[in-house]
Amino acid sequence: MSLIWVMGYIYTALGFSIGGVIAWALRVVQRKIDTIYSICAGLILGLLSFEVAPEAINLGNWLTFIVGFVIGVILFKVTHKALKNLFGTFKGKDNFSLQTGILLFLSISFHNLPIGIVIGSNQESSFEMTLLQTILLHNIPEGIIVFTPLFIAGLGLWTWLFLSLIVAIPVGFGAYIGNSMGIGDPMFWSFSISLAVGTIYMITIQEIIMESIKDFSKVLIIALISFGCIGGFLFLT
């Protein structure tokens, strides 16, 4: 049996951990956290718009994308309310950062499962490598986005190691399932990825951009520049 599920796990964990290292390096400029949040927001919105959303539409259609997206928004609202109740007794920036990091981590972990199934279902080695390289590259900014608020909340390098290993499990598991079946349902993948897109869009806009713009008027400008940069990067690669 192909070891694509092992490779999927390794590439995901590696990309995510690299993003964590970059976030750790940026911790020394926490006074500029709103700038960092703006850059991260642009990166994640660019990834969703230029890579993940088109992938979901190609696997299914516009209907599956819209339905999945809307359910993702609803899922965000429910999860956000639950976390707000959980952390409601704590105040300050650390609480906001911790809640944002957890929401992003959960959403990214969920959307990694159908991506893993897609990888495992494609048996051509050349196509597999292209998918694996894409996963590595797009997990770097995702790692930055997740770990930046978590490091600001006071979590350390053990958190980086633990979450990097955990977030890759759905990819490895999904790839194992996809490889074992040899086939899959693209409509299910489309719906699942679209659901994650809707959730992460809401987190990025409501939890990062809308919160940061209260203290930093140039959030939208920096986010747009970052959005364009990741779009150009994905286009060239």
Query: Is pTM, for the whole model, over 0.85?
Result: no
Three-state secondary structure readout of 164-181: HHHHCHHHHHHHHHHHHH
Which of residues 221 and 141 earns the better pLDDT score? 221
CA distance 104 to 24: 17
pLDDT of 14: 93
Q: Residue 172: which of 43, 11, 1 has the closest Cα? A: 11
Long-range contacts of 47-50 (CB under 8 A, 24+ apart): 47/138, 47/141, 47/142, 47/230, 47/234, 48/197, 48/200, 48/201, 48/204, 49/227, 49/231, 50/230, 50/231, 50/234, 50/235
- pLDDT tens, position by position, 135-168: 777 678 778 878 888 887 778 888 889 999 998 8
- pLDDT tens, position by position, 122-133: 555 444 565 676
